[in-house]
A and B are shown apart, each in its own frame.
Chain A
Amino acid sequence: MKDPSKHIIIWTACAFVLLLTSLQAVGGTLKVCSTCEYRSVKEAVSKAKAGDVVLVDGGTYKESGITITQPIRLIGQNNPVIDGNNSGQIITVASDNVTIQGFTLQNVATSYTRDDAAIRVRQQNNIRILNNTILKTYFGIYLQYSDSIVIKDNVIKGENLGKTESSLGNAIHLYYTDDVQIIGNDVQGHRDGIYLETVKNSKVVRNTSRQNMRYGLHFMFSDNNVYTHNTFRKNGAGVAVMYTTNVHMEYNTFEDNWGAASYGLLLKEINNSFIHNNIFRRNTTGIHMESSSRLDFKNNDFERNGWAIKLMTTCIDDTFRLNNFTGNSFDISTNGNAQHNYFEHNYWDKYTGYDLDKDGVGDVPYRPVSLYSMLVEQVPPSIMFMRSFMVDLLDNMEKVMPSIIPQTLVDEQPLMKKIDHDNNREFVQVLRQTASAPWRER
């Protein structure tokens, strides 16, 4: 018989060697600070080998043109600042499997030909950009032709005061990039907050996009994406989404998008999509829909908008169920008589019908389009007569004997009581607050 202790020693030795080699694969750590071996991020990054960690300590580094060519992790400790000093792009990622975490990147000048960004990724996969603060840049995070990306918990703040739309870049700009997770970012002061062009199978969750000059969220040709728990507030023209199918938009808040050409949500040629549990509050137009078909609107709240929904006649087969319409100047407005959309079981605060059998559903149908809203659609200056006695009278007459408003745009079963959507937003907000780092502006 062999000595069993010998076995144990051999196995332990093997395990130890394996452990050592695996540690070797993880790589070494290159430290950057004012007293370390490396004093510039650029130098450390250029020396780093695959799998290394470049650990940057607090301090300000006046650098730009940092190019990452190896799969490394670039990590900031104690909030280091890399100041691009308006001399071009700060970090360019030219390798797969790169993580950039915990930096403050600032000062990238407007560059019309190069589209400089704080972090630029071109044709790379599996990139993680986490917990960075990006200030005063042209583009914030710019990705093209890349896959499997995580952009999480970044704060991107631009300065759009006194600037024109064309001299501003987007905070998060993605082009031909699939399988992306954009989570918990706070973007503001850019042209578009989040810009997605041909981005598929992606998730946009818990972001706040506000005070951007044009759109809070802007996407085109981006199918199969999910947008949940985002807040879009006070953007120049709200949120605009176009030419896309199979979109899920849930639990988002669109609010305070005021202005002459401002929308909460503009849908143009969006098909086969779900818009559930969202809040549209105090927008000039809650939703403007054009050429969008087979959309399902459910459990949304429309509160105090100018127009809750502008439904163009090019939209067909859209379903509106269990939505609340409260305090809007106009519930629905449309530009023609032909209507092929379906309304059922919504709550309208302007509904004046009765419910004799007490089943919670009004006994007379509600027509959400008023005569006056049709008039305003055709002759915009007649908005001056809003709340005039004559207008109220005309609307009521039309309601009793409809002849001009579209016959088919009708909720046959309007609800008598406001629906209590248990959206659990408070819970989400608490989660969001506890998740946010203390140095973030809240």
Chain B
Amino acid sequence: MNKIIKYVLYDILRSKIIVAYTLFLLLLSIGLFNLGGSPDKGLLSLLNLVLLTVPLISIVFATTHFYNSYEFMELLVSQPIRRSKIFMSEYLGVSLSLSAAFLIGVGIPVLLFAPGATGLYLVLTGVFITFIFVALAFLASVITRDKAKGIGIALMLWFYFALIYDGIVLFILYSFGDYPLEYATLALTALNPVDLGRVMVLLNLDVSAMMGYTGALYKSIFGSGWGVGIAFMILVLWVLVPLLVSRRAFTRRDL
């Protein structure tokens, strides 16, 4: 398995896209920290960009990578190697390289400019989101053999999590505004990893004090170690569920 991961990593490194991604993140982070003035402000702007770009790049890169290495996978399948092993190696290869790019591109500037619990949450959230969206990309890729269709599905997934979902939830909240929605909102947030990551970082920033009564309620939940633990557990679930579903589909499917 390690050998396959190594080949996958070589392959990714050769494509140079990952280097460009690292540089892009690095420039963005350093730029924002230097622009924002206070480190808190920098973290906040960085959070917005991370939650928009990291899912998009992860999901598009992982989908294209999956389709591009189809022949390599077919070759491996002809060898006495279990399919789930091949799939997991591909997954780990892609998500580890993207996470490494993220850790260098965002983790190092955060460590330099805004070290602390909130910075750690931001970096952890970014890494989790990378893993989650690579898993979702693989799910999109195993659904269809057609590359264009696969990328289309991946983009739709990104669009859904980054934009449409929030719109739907806001609409629901607005329509049912007469009911007590505090805990329903909490549950709805957990159903979108991007929102979950955003809320977790936001509530650990200074601005959380500015969010009034409901903000205080959520802070009492997410501010505690217990709440953060549960939030990360949910993020782990968000990695595992699409990954296991797609692995199952991959092992059973006619390549």
Q: List A374-394 residues whose CB lies under 8 Å from chain B.
A: 375-376, 378-391, 393-394
Residues of B within 8 A of A387 (CB): 44, 47-48, 198, 202
The answer to whether B167 touches A390 (Cβ under 8 A) is yes
The answer to whether A384 touches B195 (Cβ under 8 A) is yes
Is B169 engaged at the interface, CB distance under 8 Å to the other chain?
Answer: yes
Is A261 engaged at the interface, CB distance under 8 Å to the other chain?
Answer: yes
The answer to whether A260 touches B173 (Cβ under 8 A) is no
The answer to whether A260 touches B174 (Cβ under 8 A) is no
Is A103 engaged at the interface, CB distance under 8 Å to the other chain?
Answer: no
Is A258 engaged at the interface, CB distance under 8 Å to the other chain?
Answer: yes
Residues of B within 8 A of A285 (CB): 212
Which of B21-29, B60-68, B72-80, B214-222 has 4 or more CB atoms under 8 Å from chain A?
Answer: B214-222
A390 to B169, CA, bound (A): 10
Is A306 engaged at the interface, CB distance under 8 Å to the other chain?
Answer: yes
The answer to whether A382 touches B185 (Cβ under 8 A) is yes
A380 to B170, CA, bound (A): 11
Secondary structure call for the B interface = helix
Residue of B nearest to A388 (CB): B166
Residues of B within 8 A of A389 (CB): 48, 51-52, 162-163, 166
Number of interface residues of A (CB under 8 A): 31
The answer to whether B174 touches A379 (Cβ under 8 A) is yes
CB distance from B90 to the nearest CB of A (A): 30
A215 to B195, CA, bound (A): 36
The answer to whether A381 touches B214 (Cβ under 8 A) is yes
Name B163's contact: one of A282, A327, A375, A390 (CB within 8 Å): A390
Is A284 engaged at the interface, CB distance under 8 Å to the other chain?
Answer: yes
A4 to B2, CA, bound (A): 124
A375 to B173, CA, bound (A): 9
The answer to whether B174 touches A380 (Cβ under 8 A) is no
Name B173's contact: one of A258, A259, A379, A393 (CB within 8 Å): A379
Residues of A within 8 A of B163 (CB): 389-390, 393
Is A305 engaged at the interface, CB distance under 8 Å to the other chain?
Answer: yes
The answer to whether B185 touches A259 (Cβ under 8 A) is no
Is B13 engaged at the interface, CB distance under 8 Å to the other chain?
Answer: no
Which of B108-116, B203-211, B237-245 has 4 or more CB atoms under 8 Å from chain A?
Answer: B203-211
The answer to whether A329 touches B207 (Cβ under 8 A) is yes
The answer to whether B209 touches A385 (Cβ under 8 A) is no
Residue of A nearest to B181 (CB): A381
Residues of B within 8 A of A394 (CB): 167, 170
Residue of A nearest to B47 (CB): A387
CB distance from B56 to the nearest CB of A (A): 11
Residues of B within 8 A of A260 (CB): 212-213, 215-217
- A378-B44 contact given A260-B213, A306-B211, A384-B218, CB 8 Å threshold: no
Among B174, B195, B210, find the residue whose CB has the most chain A CB atoms closer than 10 A. B210
* CB pairs A–B below 8 angstroms (15 shown): A260-B215, A304-B210, A306-B209, A306-B212, A307-B212, A379-B174, A381-B173, A381-B184, A382-B170, A383-B214, A384-B214, A387-B48, A389-B51, A390-B166, A391-B166
Contact surface of A with B, Cβ cutoff 8 Å: 258-261, 282, 284-285, 304-307, 327, 329, 375-376, 378-391, 393-394
Contact surface of B with A, Cβ cutoff 8 Å: 41, 44, 47-48, 51-52, 162-163, 166-167, 169-170, 173-174, 177, 181-182, 184-186, 189, 195, 198-199, 202, 207, 209-218
